[in-house]
Structure 1
Amino acid sequence: MRADATRTTSKMAMTGGRLRLTLALTSGLAILAGCGSDMDWDLRPSERFSTTEAARNSTAARPTPDPRGVISYPGYQVVVAQPGEQVRDISARLGLAQGALAAHNAIDPAAVMRGGELLVLPSRVDEATSTPGAITATTLSPATSAGPEPVQHEVRRGETAFSIARLYQVTPRSLAEWNGLAGDMGVREGQILVIPVAQQQTAALSAPLSASGLPGTDAGGTSAAITAGTAAGTTAAATLPATTSLPGQGSATPNPPSAAQPLPATTPTPAGQGATAGAPAPEPVADLGAERTQAAQLAMPVEGRIIRAYARGRNDGIGIGAPAGTSIRAAAGGTVAAITQDTDQVPILVIRHADNLLTVYANIDNITVARGDRISRGQSIATVRRGDPSFLHFEVREGFESVDPMPYLQ
């Protein structure tokens, strides 16, 4: 009975802790939009989802590798491991710098690979293979391609194969097949996954070509457009009159200029007039910098490249890449509505602005404001947290509803 009481007390303490955290998150915002919000304060996609839509977006099979296990795309290459191979063995046989392959894929060089497991190469290797010392004839042939280049995704802390599949609207099964994941669908932080390519993309590239290798040609390699043009030209020639006047025939020859009969006086046309006199004056080029300054409702909280775009329901904000320690500025004037933490104890700051607008700043450190503070546009409120990569997660919400921040920032 004492053990049951202990378990009950522990459970109540955990429940109370979650309740206090929930109250801390919502107290500053309850006056704005009431209760029943779906706002995800952990900034993670909800696990309550259906994969039906993703299943409908069927994906193609992974391309077949060359004899070395390499699959080449225009921008990068991957290698398919053989059962029992170590990462350093793969690196050695492909001629890569020692440790480069392991570091690029966040894996131990001594790790033993599963058959079919995928690694992204840190640098390009020669696609041509030949036997040393053998004399081979060089023949010209069309360049081979593994099809459309898949997107690469670097796994971040807290992500799972299922959440990544949902992010890109592919099935977890196809994600596992393309990357050679284990039966438990486990992924590691820093691992690079390739996202399966949709079936319709490969179908478009694999459409049969004509004998000449160009679309819209006949068996002889003649373009249909050229053939049609030739036929049209033949018809036009047939309708010309039998006799054609020579150039200048039938027109009077003008008298040559002389001193006795000078040329008629002409009024010179000022430069910039003449044939273009009736043309409208060109519109002045817009100053995009000034236009953005005047029109943008929100200021960029940090200067940097957008490394993760907004995707409603999957990524409710944007990721702005910036060095750790970069000062984060308030996007607009307002009041600090909440300061809390996600499940990894990473601070989250929420600012309430006019017209029921909220801005959310996450993956931050060194917060310099407190809840209830009045702040101004451009005021420093925190710094970018250290990470790999380091970035600011920035959201805009109308009430509790997430919206794409970019229209507010442009």
Structure 2
Amino acid sequence: MTQTRHDIEPGRRRALGLLLAAAAAVAAGCGTTGGPVPDGYYRVERGDTLYSIARKHRRSVRDLTRWNSDITSPSQIEVGQLIRVRPPGGASGSASAGQAVTDTPRVDSGPASRPPASSIRLQWPADGRVTAGFAPPASKGLSIAVPANGAVRAAAAGRAIHVGNLRGYGMLVIVKHSDDWLTVYGNLDQPLVTEGAQVSAGQDVGRMGASPSELHFEVRGNGKPVDPAAYLPSRG
């Protein structure tokens, strides 16, 4: 069954916010440092996110941020960084494996309070009429009714920093255009790019299903959703 904006619950929107922050952090990762890993610690590898590390060690993201004072945001991890994954001083952990999946810190996904320093010009990601506009907190982007098997195109050149499923968004592609700007393409039937691939403006990044469905399209400046209509050309 096709999921629409009505299926995206607040917790799922927070999950997307966490994913965006972590994916951006990995995309900007630095070089690896070597050396032995002390007992109770984990060294961040390329492709890791704080969420994936927490799940691997049967902890919650909240545990890891509490035990590592240098992590004040899920986006603040780097390749080669040592992260404590066991409680210090005999303190007890708080999460089971199941909790580690769902116990993510609240990520403010409301409209940006200030615009990014840079600007961006976008093109429409798909053909079809807009069925729902930007109206936070219910809608963080646009819903576009795309014809059956319709192509979904990159709104600007950039790099695919995430390709995969996210609960409530279905198959999802996230393209990073600069340090300030990301675009999100959700509810795809099939991705047409791989994670890490460079994409050009207008390149097909996904395809919708065999029956008409709605593309969920977001624009994020400084990690916060902004009104896509402000950056898209008029359709006349």
Provide the TM-score with structure 2 as the length reference. Answer: 0.50
Structure 1 gap ranges (5+): 1-20, 46-295
Aligned pairs for 1:214-225 (under 5 A) are none
| Residue 29 (1) aligns with residue 98 (2) | no
Equivalent in the alignment of 2:214:
391
* Counterpart contact for 1:350–1:360, Cα < 8 Å: yes
Structure 1 residues 230-260: Cα deviation after superposition (integer angstroms, max 9, x where no partner)? xxxxxxxxxxxxxxxxxxxxxxxxxxxxxxx
Displacement of 1:354 in angstroms is 2.3
Structure 1 residues 202-231: Cα deviation after superposition (integer angstroms, max 9, x where no partner)? xxxxxxxxxxxxxxxxxxxxxxxxxxxxxx
Aligned pairs for 1:329-340 (under 5 A) are 329-340=153-164
Change (3 A) 1:311 1:386: farther
Over aligned residue pairs, what C-alpha RMSD do you find? 3.1
* Counterpart contact for 2:127–2:150, Cα < 8 Å: no
Q: In structure 1, the residue corresponding to 2:230 is in which secondary structure?
A: helix
Equivalent in the alignment of 2:225:
402
Q: In structure 1, the residue corresponding to 2:161 is in which secondary structure?
A: strand
Partners of 1:315 and 1:345 lie apart in 2 by 12
Amino acid at match of 2:216: H
Aligned pairs for 1:330-409 (under 5 A) are 330-343=154-167, 346-386=170-210, 390-409=213-232
* Counterpart contact for 1:312–1:403, Cα < 8 Å: no
Partners of 1:376 and 1:382 lie apart in 2 by 13
Change (3 A) 1:325 1:354: same
Partners of 1:404 and 1:307 lie apart in 2 by 15
Amino acid at match of 1:403: V
Q: In structure 2, the residue corresponding to 1:29 is in which secondary structure?
A: helix
Change (3 A) 1:315 1:386: farther
* Counterpart contact for 2:160–2:173, Cα < 8 Å: yes
Partners of 1:332 and 1:392 lie apart in 2 by 17
| Residue 38 (1) aligns with residue 33 (2) | no
1:310 to 126, 134, 153: 134
Aligned pairs for 1:6-405 (under 5 A) are 26-30=21-25, 34-35=75-76, 38=107, 297-343=121-167, 346-386=170-210, 390-405=213-228
Change (3 A) 1:397 1:383: same
Q: In structure 2, the residue corresponding to 1:303 is in which secondary structure?
A: coil
Q: In structure 2, the residue corresponding to 1:350 is in which secondary structure?
A: strand
* Counterpart contact for 2:160–2:196, Cα < 8 Å: yes
Amino acid at match of 1:391: E
More strand as a share of residues: 2
Partners of 1:401 and 1:407 lie apart in 2 by 14
Amino acid at match of 1:38: V
Amino acid at match of 1:381: V
Displacement of 1:37 in angstroms is 7.0
The one of the two structures with greater contact order (alpha-carbon pairs below 8 A, sep at least 6) is 2
| Aligned length, in residue pairs | 136
Partners of 1:298 and 1:37 lie apart in 2 by 29
Amino acid at match of 2:205: I
Provide the TM-score with structure 1 as the length reference. Answer: 0.30
Partners of 1:23 and 1:393 lie apart in 2 by 18
Change (3 A) 1:300 1:37: farther
- Aligned identity (percent) is 33
* Counterpart contact for 1:297–1:409, Cα < 8 Å: yes
Q: In structure 2, the residue corresponding to 1:339 is in which secondary structure?
A: strand
* Counterpart contact for 1:24–1:340, Cα < 8 Å: no
Partners of 2:25 and 2:108 lie apart in 1 by 12
Change (3 A) 1:39 1:380: farther
Partners of 1:24 and 1:299 lie apart in 2 by 24
